[in-house]
Chain A
Amino acid sequence: MSNLVVLPIIIPLLAGIIIAFFHKKLPIARALSKIFIVINLIVAAYVTYLVFTNGMIVLETGSWQAPYGIVFVADPLSVILVLTTNILTTACLFIAPKLVSDVREKYYFYTFTFLLVSGVSGAFLTGDLFNLFVFFEVLLMASYGLIVLGGGKVQLRESLKYLLINLFSSIIFVTTVAFLYAVVGTVNMAHIAERVQEVEQTGVLTTIGIVLFFVFATKAALFPLYYWMPKSYTVPNPVVSALFGALLTKVGIYSIMRIYTLIFVTDELTSKFFIIIAGLSMLFGVIGALSTNDIKLLMSYNVIPSIGFILLGIALANENGLGGATYYLMHDMIIKTALFLIIGVIVYAAGTADLRKLGGLIHYYPGLGWSLFIATVVLAGIPPLSGFIGKLLLLRGSVENGEIIIIIVALLSSLLILYSVMKIFIQGFWGEKDASFKPVSIRGMLAPIIGLLAVSVFLGIGAEFVYPYINEVAVYLLDPEIYIQAVLKE
């Protein structure tokens, strides 16, 4: 029964390997990738259902008991994220045959994508800090393959920087794990949490906490460590950008969420510090988005404020705050994928990413235009759509803790996010019909995007249905004992 937990990791891994054998035969590779991702989606949905009805599932690999063996833990937070990962990857794989060039598809696009999904699911599900590092490396390895796919001049340059910054932060990560091992003598997260509580938070543990935050903040692209992110996310092809924007930074923020709810419990000082970082991320991200006319870069900058919102929820450490962070995480993964894909289709259709050269596209692509419009209002959080619910919870949490300044900052940055993305709609889609413009067929590209938007709209309008589950996650996150008990079974 508990073996189910590894299936969302194993299936993509096997799929990636099997598809590698057919990398030159595109029809087979495409068909296989769709079949595997749908199977994985169903399995992930089933695991989610089981976790929410029967409680957490813990797998001790090789039947080695908890602190000694490697454990995989399917708790409410991780299964929700695995399910979301699978939903958005399904959309990405269904649009990929249209949006990714044949040559790139042949050079292991599908294999790398599946390995990425495997790594991301692994990072969500693992209950072992060193194993988290290993899964980070798995997903980074796949991402190195994806970002450099195509091998243009700019692409090589940016992927080199991406690789170096990630390599550096990974090495710091593994060093910190070694530090932590020296202090508490274990790498099992539940066991670490238990022992950290026993020894109280001494100076060394505080240092470790800060260094771990540095590592994950680099990977999550928080202020002031986001400098590497925007440009490197614009260079690969749009499907890869969508996967990166939706998954990679989110794994970083998930790790912060896990570490700071389970191992290092947020005290007042950390909370203040996180709120400041969150506020600055919101502001600087959106300023970056407003500063550019390149629509891909604009979208990449928009990833930063959303990470800030999630960090705000973690900092608040109350029921509304953590619920809001979880809701926002889910919402943002889906809507960012949709927006990155829409931007990709716009660039494909119009042949340029420069906002000054775009205009009048609504006459040729009405469906695309309205998809962008809906995605924008969802992202900005116009009620009753999903962004609104997440932000409402976060703001309520802030009011409870009496953090008024951050509410103003959050609302201001939401407004500016709306403006920055609406700018694409206004300048790109409105305007006179350009007679010399030759429209390209975008048939079949809209369906996956509309699917994602439907999920996103459901998250908002169906909040009545979704919210109880999110609340369950928040209540669960507030009590680390549940996790420790489930893993160590004392």
Chain B
Amino acid sequence: MEIIICILAGILFATGVYNILQKQLLRIAIGTGLISHAAHLFILTMGKLKRGQPPIIEEGITNYTDPLPHALILTSIVISFGVTSVVLVLAYRTINENKTDNMDQLRGNEYE
């Protein structure tokens, strides 16, 4: 199970990076969203995927779900949600001000 999810995270990373390397701003924004999803999936997998076990350590119970990745992923999701919205707003404003969404034209050569 873990290996499948790891491959899925890898695919998400690959597509995300591919999108970040595009020229269009919206694609870049989507790419950042994709790689943050990949990272979250990865955190979840790192705590081992199990079903039906409570996250409790008690005498006699040897099989339990690790609660820490869930706490980590929750924090991470909230942060990436915030950052993604900042990316979108900033991309929108940049497109409006600079009248282009092409990264090639956003290079800026005034000091060169």
Residues on A lying within 8 angstroms of B by beta carbon are 130, 133-134, 137, 141, 144, 148, 151-154, 156-160, 163-164, 167-168, 170-171, 174-175, 177-179, 181-182, 187, 231, 292, 294, 297
Contact = CB atoms under 8 A, between A and B. Distances in A.
Contacts of B97: 151-153, 156
Contact of B43 (A164, A168, A178): A178
Interface in B94-110: 94, 97-98, 106, 108, 110
B88 to A, nearest CB: 11
Contacts of B106: 157, 160
Interface in B58-112: 68-69, 72, 75-76, 79-80, 82-83, 86-87, 90-91, 93-94, 97-98, 106, 108, 110-111
A163 B86 contact: yes
A151 B82 CA distance: 20
Contacts of A231: 108, 111
Interface in B20-40: 20, 25, 28, 32, 35-36, 38-39
A187 B98 CA distance: 43
Interface of B is mostly: helix
Most buried by B among A133, A158, A167, A294: A167
A181 B86 contact: no
A178 B41 CA distance: 10
A167 B32 contact: yes
B32 A159 contact: no
A159 B90 contact: yes
A305 to B, nearest CB: 19
Interface size class of B (residues with CB under 8 A): 20 to 34
Contacts of B82: 141
Nearest to B83: A167
B83 A292 contact: no
Contacts of A163: 83, 86-87, 90
A294 B108 CA distance: 14
Contacts of A137: 79, 83
Contact of B42 (A153, A156, A159, A178): A178
Contacts of B90: 144, 148, 156, 159-160, 163
A157 B46 contact: no
Contact of A164 (B32, B39, B47, B79): B32
A153 B2 CA distance: 46
A130 B72 contact: yes
B28 A164 contact: yes
Given A160-B106, A168-B20, A151 B93 contact: yes
A160 B72 CA distance: 27
B94 A156 contact: yes
B39 A178 contact: yes
Contacts of B93: 148, 151, 156
A259 to B, nearest CB: 18
A170 to B, nearest CB: 8
B42 A175 contact: yes
B91 A160 contact: yes
Contact of A178 (B35, B69, B75, B111): B69
A141 B42 contact: no
A215 to B, nearest CB: 12
A154 B83 contact: no
A292 B106 CA distance: 20
Nearest to B84: A167
Nearest to B75: A134
Contact of A294 (B39, B69, B86, B111): B111
Contacts of A152: 97
B72 A187 contact: yes
A171 B39 CA distance: 7
A134 B77 CA distance: 11
Given A156-B94, A157-B98, A163-B90, A174 B83 contact: no
A384 to B, nearest CB: 37
A148 B86 CA distance: 11
B31 to A, nearest CB: 9
Given A137-B79, A156-B90, A174-B76, A179 B108 contact: no
B17 to A, nearest CB: 9
Given A134-B79, A160-B91, A175-B42, A181 B35 contact: no
Contacts of B76: 133, 174
